[in-house]
Structure 1
């Protein structure tokens, strides 16, 4: 599992790679928080148990990844908390159920304003590869 920033003239373009679809969602959370909070390898410790559930459009896994990252952004901005996913499940109808821990964010907000559909790419794996642009 890994992620890196790619060149982009104004925003942040991410490339995230993982062996499974479920681990891709977990790695996208790490990449998002790293960029948004400016923490190279976020380690927030343990928090209180929580669940994130999202319904995507059937056969639109790329859209579900964008919705996932925007949900993480919403929680960071409104509740000042981060979600550390321990287990992620995606069913055949493109519904996501993630269980993990909610942890208080080390800083209010972040530099990411939105996760966009511009430049969106998802290549099925293994390894799975996802490219997305973060509006900063």
Structure 2
């Protein structure tokens, strides 16, 4: 499992890898949370207060990953916490995601990330789960 931040002209992005789709979506959340907060998931987990859940359905992997990350952003903007996943389960038929995680306070200031986008999006399940995404900053 791994991720790295990639440079982009006016925005930012990341690449993530995993052995499974569950790991890929966990790593994508870790990269996205780093762009949002400047903190690692381990650091955010230490600040976690209570347990939260996310459940999503989609028609394809692209829609699922964009919805997943934008849901994390939505919770930060509206409920003022970062959703830090501890368990992520991705089903391929029907395509869905279920996640459990901690709520880490994010404060009331504006976040540097505006949205997870389809721009430059590449996601695959085989031969190995991989994701590349540009994030609107």
* TM-score of the pair, normalised by structure 2: 0.88
- 1:33-75, Cα deviation, whole Å (9 max, x unpaired): 1011122x24121321111011111xx1121011000000111
| 2:31 pairs with 1:31 | yes
Aligned to 1:55: 57
Q: Is the 8 A contact 1:119 1:133 kept in 2?
A: yes
Contact between 2:5 and 2:31, CA under 8 Å: does it hold in 1?
A: no
For 2:110 and 2:23, the matched residues in 1 are separated by 25
Query: How far 1:76 moved relative to its partner?
Result: 0.8
Gaps of 5+ in 1: none
SS of 2:8's equivalent in the other structure is coil
Does residue 6 of structure 1 match 2:13? no
Offset at residue 80 of structure 1 (A) = 1.1
Per-residue CA distance 1:6-52 (angstroms, 9 max, x = gap): 2311111211111110011111111111011122x241213211110
Partner Cα separation in structure 1 for residue 30 and residue 109 of structure 2: 17
Matched, 1:98 2:99: yes
- What residue ranges of structure 2 are gaps of 5+ in the alignment? none
* RMSD across aligned positions (CA): 1.6
Please, what TM-score do these two structures have when normalized by structure 1? 0.89
